[in-house]
Amino acid sequence: MTAVTVLAYGAGNVASVRFALERLGATVRLTDDPAGIAEAERLILPGVGAAGYAMARLSGLGLVEPIRAFSRPLLGVCLGQQLLFEASEEGQGVDMLGLLPGTVRRLEPGPGRPVPHMGWSRLSLTRPDPLLEGLEDGAWAYFVHSYACPDGAATLARADYGGPVPAVVRSANRWGCQFHPERSAAAGARILRNFLEIEP
Amino acid sequence: MTARRIIPCLDVRDGRVVKGVRFEGHVDMGDAADLAARYRDEGADELVFYDITASPEGRTLDYGWVRDIARLLDIPFSVAGGIRSVEQAGRCLDHGADKVSINSPALERPELIAEMAGRFGAQCVVVGVDSRRAGDDWFVHQYTGDPAASRGAGRRTLDWIVEAQALGAGEIVLNCMDEDGVRRGYDLAQLAAARSRLTIPLVASGGAGEAAHFRDVFQQADVSGALAASVFHTGSVGIGELKTFLDQAGVEVRL
């Protein structure tokens, strides 16, 4: 049985991520301390809400350096993907983990395009990747966010929401999903299963 | 862009789904978890669970039940019913709910919206609004889960939704009570008026009776989602057939 550790740091959708992994037969461990990260075979960084609050929680628990130093597979989900980048313009500006370059910026509402971007959008895949194995171009995923990551070389999949929205990103052994795989029906389950099967 | 969302709403009392006409005379529609699983399998985009007796009775909903639903579903769901503090909302989210919907408690104390958005982010905070026509305007009602407690809230609907958005609501579910349960179609005029005043997503509620009503509300009121209860519970509109119909009518849906 594949083991996966989920960071339960008080700013995440831990329960729904955990239940989705359990539906796939994984053994899920929750942790909020550096030792738990050090022991993890693979790590999921969930997150909902404000970037500043999430970073303050990670910092207060002494988790920032252990996450930066973690070299086995890491998956950031939703806000967890955003936290992988250098900074966010949310609030007065927030310094984040800096594992990927660039600044997370606010989505601007437009005609027919309310913000938050909330609902099911199609994924447009940019290149093959083990995390996206078996996924069809145009697969639907469930998004809920008001800020978007910078589009760049790390982008593995995009959604279109008045412009490109990086939906899956990767740098080395660190992946991120802007959407909620735990709430994205079959496509989301496939992505989580792929993550569980990536060799540490 | 996003697909237009089809959202079955489960009004829950003691674990059973109930449905009334114009909020009165409830009829048992089945076990909540069974219906939730059925709608998930039929292609519902999201589910809403309202504990309809919680708010009038001054209690909150059952967190263990929220957790059971979260275990079952791989689509998003929101919960509502008597949530009147950040702590209670946090417990719903901790037990696996994706969004928390508040209605009467937000009217009692609008700062609750800001407190929840500040702590969890706007995307978790849904403000439900029960609205009824009076003259040539629409007004907010509260405690609508209990006919004896239901009453006007003394606010114009179009003012209240803008205030709720400014306080940090991430989505508005506008329930048009004049149409609720009577299956004559959504209140397109009211919903279009609401849509034009908001930058956050708007979900229509109240009045769905046939597939064409969903097409009309997406095409004419530009709402992000359409919520319905009895047409799905009775099987008079099947979610799969509805989405095929919408797709053929040019409405983007997740198939």
Residue located via tokens 């899956």: A168
A180 vs A167: CA distance, rounded Å: 10
A164 CB-side CA count, 13 A = 13
DSSP code of residue A109: P
Cβ burial of B57 (10 Å; 0-12, 13-18, 19+) is middle
Choose among B156, B246, B170, B155: nearest CA to B208: B246
Nearest-Cα distance to chain B for A102, in Å, is 22
By Cβ distance, the residue of A49, A120, A145 closest to B120 is A49
Please pick, among A78, A90, A145, A177, the residue that the annotation labels catalytic. A78
Instruction: Report the b/e string of B218-231 with b at 16+ CB within 10 A.
Output: beebbbbbbbbbbb
What pLDDT, on the 0 to 100 scale, is given for residue B22?
47
Q: Which residues of chain A have pLDDT under 50?
A: none
Could you tell me which residues come within 8 angstroms of residue A127 by beta carbon, excluding any fewer than 6 positions away? A156
Q: Cβ atoms within 10 A of the Cβ of A174, count?
A: 24
Could you tell me which residues come within 8 angstroms of residue B239 by beta carbon, excluding any fewer than 6 positions away? B6, B8, B39, B42, B43, B44, B232
What pLDDT, on the 0 to 100 scale, is given for residue B60?
65
Taking the Cβ of residue B24 and every Cβ of chain A, the question of whether any pair is shorter than 8 Å is answered with no
What confidence tens digit (pLDDT) does each residue in A10-39 have? 877 899 999 999 999 999 999 999 999 999
Residues 125-164 of B with CB under 8 A from A: none
Nearest-Cα distance to chain B for A20, in Å, is 7
Inspect the interface and report whether the beta carbons of A183 and B199 lie closer than 8 Å: no
A131 vs A174: CA distance, rounded Å: 11
Give the DSSP H/E element, type plus range, for residue B60: none
B44 CB-side CA count, 13 A = 27
Inspect the interface and report whether the beta carbons of B70 and A16 lie closer than 8 Å: yes
Beta strands in A78-139 (DSSP E): 85-88, 94-95, 100-106, 117-122, 124-125
Residues of chain A with Cβ-Cβ distance to B200 below 8 Å are 109, 114-116
Taking the Cβ of residue B95 and every Cβ of chain A, the question of whether any pair is shorter than 8 Å is answered with yes
Query: Phi/psi zone of residue A10: left (φ > 0), alpha (ψ -120 to 50 degrees), beta?
Result: left
- The answer to whether residues B85 and B112 touch, using CB atoms and an 8 Å cutoff, is yes
pTM of this structure: 0.94
B137 vs A197: CA distance, rounded Å: 57
B156 vs B107: CA distance, rounded Å: 12
Please pick, among B98, B130, B187, B216, the residue that the annotation labels catalytic. B130
Give the DSSP H/E element, type plus range, for residue B185: none
DSSP code of residue B98: S
Residue located via tokens 């991520």: A17
- Judge whether A89 counts as a catalytic residue: no
What pLDDT, on the 0 to 100 scale, is given for residue A25?
96
Inspect the interface and report whether the beta carbons of A19 and B222 lie closer than 8 Å: no
Choose among A37, A69, A50, A152: nearest CA to B168: A50
DSSP code of residue A12: S
DSSP code of residue B92: H
Q: Report ipTM (2 d.p.).
A: 0.94
- The answer to whether residues B123 and B224 touch, using CB atoms and an 8 Å cutoff, is no
Taking the Cβ of residue A20 and every Cβ of chain B, the question of whether any pair is shorter than 8 Å is answered with yes
Taking the Cβ of residue B1 and every Cβ of chain A, the question of whether any pair is shorter than 8 Å is answered with yes
Residues of chain A with Cβ-Cβ distance to B3 below 8 Å are 119-121, 140
What pLDDT, on the 0 to 100 scale, is given for residue B20?
59
Residues of chain A with Cβ-Cβ distance to B75 below 8 Å are 142, 183, 185
- The answer to whether residues B77 and B97 touch, using CB atoms and an 8 Å cutoff, is yes
Token pair belonging to B72? 């079952």
Question: How many angstroms separate the Cα of B38 from the Cα of each of A50, A172, B80, B95?
Answer: 34, 40, 20, 21
pLDDT in tens, chain B (255 residues): 899 999 999 988 877 888 755 455 677 878 888 899 999 999 999 999 988 766 556 666 778 888 999 999 999 999 998 898 999 999 999 999 999 999 989 999 999 999 999 888 899 999 999 999 999 999 999 887 677 778 888 899 999 999 999 999 999 999 999 877 778 999 999 999 999 999 999 999 999 999 999 999 999 999 999 999 989 988 999 999 999 999 999 999 999
